[in-house]
Amino acid sequence: MASLELKNVVKRYKSQTVLDNLSLTVADGETLVLFGPSGAGKTVLLRLVAGVIDPDEGKILIGGEDMTDVDAEFRGVGMAFQNFALFPHMTAFDNIATPLEASRSSQSAIKAGVESVAKLLKIGHVLSHKPRALSNGQKQRTALARALVGSPPVLLLDDPLRNVDAKLRFEMRLELPRLLADRGATVVYVTQDYKEAMALGDRIAVMSQGVIKQLGTPEQIYREPANIEIARLFGDPTINLLDVKPSRDAKGIYIGLSNVQVHLAGSYETAVGRDCVIGLRPEALAFVDEATPAAIPVTVEAETPLNEKIVTLVRTVRGREILVSRPAGTPGQTEGRAHIAVDGKSALLFDRASGDRIGSKNVVNLRSGEAA
C-alpha cells in the first residue's frame, strides 16, 4: 500500500500552463476525488501520476519513493480510462490479464486472478468476447477489472462512469465505494459529476484552470464552498445567487430581499456595505404562510416534480427568480402568490468582485438549520 504525493508539479503544453505549481497528498488507502470542469487539468494530473507523460517541474512520490523519472511500467499503478482504452484485438479475458502477464504470473494464476475479478464485477460470462461485442457497461467493467486485477497500491480512475448510461452509473456509484474500500488501495478518482464526487470521495479536490481551488471532505465542499464557482458546481438544482448589500441593525447583519430584512447568522462584519452575492441552496428555502416573520412575497412561476423532490421556480416582487426545493409529498404552493422564508444560518455570502466566500467556517449543519 502506498501514499501518493505531488510536489510543486508544473505541466505546460506549448505556452499554456495546464498544471500550475500543484501540490497534493493522498493518504494511504484514501479515495481522493478530482472534481472540476473539463480542461481543468484533472486527466493530465492522472497521467502524470501514471507516468505516461512527464511533468516539466516538480516531483511525484508514490509510497514515499520518487517516481518522477520512473517509466510507467515500473510505477505499480492501475488505471481505468474514460474511453475505456480496451485493446480491440484481444478478448475481455486477455484485456484483463495484461497486468498479470506483465508480472510473469503462471497461466493458472492468471486464470484465477482474472476470473475472481470478473466475478466481482459480474462480467464472467463475457470474458471470451472482444470489446466490439461488449455493451458500454461491460466495457466499463472490463476496463475497471483490468485496473483492479493486479491489486495495484495506487488506483487511478479517469471518469470511468462518464460513458455509461444513467442506470448503470447509479448502480456503480453505489458499488464502487465498497469495491475500492475492500481493495485498500489509494485511489484518485476523476469526475465531472458532483454526485459521484460526493458519493465516492473521502476528500474532494476541486480543480479549475490547473490549480486546486478547494480541498476538503464532501461535507465541507458543499457547506463551505470556497467561492461562487464551487458553490454553483455542487448541488442540484443549483444554488440561488442574488446580488445583495448587507447592512447592520440592532439584531445583527441583515440583507434586504424584496424589502424584507433577512438576518444572517455568522460573522459577516466585514461584509457590511460591500457588494455581495448571497447563495441560497434551494433546499434551504421553504414555503411559509404570510404571518411568518421575514416571509418574502413571491409569485410561483413553474413547478417541476422530480421523483424525490419538487422544484419550484418563484419570482420576487423585484423580478428576481429563485428556485425552491422541497421533498416530494410535503405541502407547498403550486401557483399564484406565496411566501418563502430564508434559513439565515445556511446562507452563504460571497464577495461579488472576487467571488470568494466571506466569513470563517461558521456555517452550521443544514439539517439542524432546517429544524430551527
Of 85 and 364, nearer to another protein (C-beta) is 85
Q: What angle do CA 161, 167, 172 make, to 5 degrees?
A: 45
Tell whether residue 88 is a contact of another protein (CB under 8 A): yes
Of 148 and 276, nearer to another protein (C-beta) is 148
Tell whether residue 87 is a contact of another protein (CB under 8 A): yes
Phi-psi region of 359 (alpha: psi -120 to 50; beta: other; left: phi over 0): left
Of 8, 25, 83, 354, which one interacts with another protein (CB under 8 A)?
83
Tell whether residue 98 is a contact of another protein (CB under 8 A): yes
Tell whether residue 165 is a contact of another protein (CB under 8 A): no
Question: Measuring CA to CA, which residue among 249, 252, 251 is closest to residue 267?
Answer: 252
Tell whether residue 86 is a contact of another protein (CB under 8 A): yes
Of 15, 108, 132, 290, which one interacts with another protein (CB under 8 A)?
132
Tell whether residue 114 is a contact of another protein (CB under 8 A): no
Q: What are phi and psi of 266, to 5 degrees?
A: 145, 170
SS3 string, 179-218, reads HHHHHCCEEEEEECCHHHHHHHCCEEEEEECCEEEEEECH
Of 62 and 230, nearer to another protein (C-beta) is 62
Tell whether residue 109 is a contact of another protein (CB under 8 A): no
Tell whether residue 47 is a contact of another protein (CB under 8 A): yes
Applying CB under 8 A, the site for another protein has a residue count of 31
For the chain, give the number of residues. Answer: 372
Of 36, 41, 55, 78, which one interacts with another protein (CB under 8 A)?
78
Q: What are phi and psi of 308, to 5 degrees?
A: -100, -10
Of 139 and 345, nearer to another protein (C-beta) is 139
Of 77, 286, 323, 358, which one interacts with another protein (CB under 8 A)?
77
- For the record, the C-alpha cell of 215 comes out as 480541498
Which span (60-68, 72-80, 202-210, 267-275) binds another protein, by CB under 8 A? Answer: 72-80
Of 154 and 264, nearer to another protein (C-beta) is 154
Q: CB of 297 within 8 A of CB of 303? A: no
Distance CA 185, CA 4 (A): 11
CB-based burial label for 151 (10 Å; 0-12, 13-18, 19+): middle
Distance CA 10, CA 15 (A): 12
CB of 150 to another protein, least distance (A): 7
* DSSP conformational letter for 131: G
Tell whether residue 81 is a contact of another protein (CB under 8 A): yes
Which residues sit at the interface with another protein, rule CB under 8 A?
A: 47, 50-52, 71-75, 77-79, 81, 83-89, 98-99, 101-103, 131-132, 139, 146, 150, 163
